[in-house]
Amino acid sequence: MTLSTKAITKTFRRFRRDERGAALVELAISLPLLLLVFAVIIEGGRLFWSYQMTAAGVRDAARYLARVADADSCTSGSNLATFTDKMTEIVRKTATGNSLLPSSITVTSVTPQLQCVPGGFRISPVPIAQVTATIEVTFPFSGVFGLMDGLDDLATITTTVTDQSRVFGI
């Protein structure tokens, strides 16, 4: 071996044992995964919270509809579609009039329906008010999902919430 070959070999051995940049390399490898986990936790919490808030609004709307609809809705042929605007307002807002949902969550449709359930009840058929709301959740961290294959198109989720209540009438 010549002198230069010994020097090169010694330099490579020293470089191989040097660990000064190892932490930076480990961070570069693990950072995308950590960002993805963080985004999934935040977005999962927001999705669960918004679904719960929508479910509460739909439940309140169904209870309201059960009180304002006629008790003889099934026999009189009443149409609950006239209550659509009020049901949409109840689902979107709290009792104080403030918006119930964050700006990235939109209520795309609210549909009140009447179901007439036959049976051996005192009043037959029994009128049941049903309110169905469709919401669309837009994720602010959807760009982070692009780091993983298969999650690129996860920018919005659309879901439906339904609740029923027996019509007692006014």
164 pLDDT tier (thresholds 50, 70, 90): very high
pTM for the whole thing? 0.70
| C-beta of residue 69 within 8 angstroms of C-beta of residue 127 | yes
How far is it, in rounded angstroms, from Cα 77 to Cα 38? Answer: 52
Q: Tokens 């919430």, residue?
A: 161
CB-CB neighbours of 110 under 10 Å: 24
Cα–Cα dist 71/153, whole Å = 46
Confidence of residue 75 (pLDDT cuts 50, 70, 90): confident
Task: State the pLDDT confidence band at 59, using cuts at 50, 70 and 90.
Answer: very high
Q: To the nearest 10°, the Cα dihedral for 57, 58, 63, 68?
A: 100
SS3 assignment for 125-165: CEEEEEEEEEEEEECCCHHHHCCCCCCCCCCEEEEEEEEEE
For residue range 4-55, what is the model confidence (pLDDT) as tens digits? Answer: 777 788 777 776 776 777 788 888 899 988 888 887 788 778 778 878 888 8
pLDDT of residue 112: 93
Select from 140, 132, 79 the least CA-distant residue to 107. 132
Encode pLDDT of 91-135 as tens digits: 887 655 566 666 677 888 999 999 888 877 777 788 899 999 998
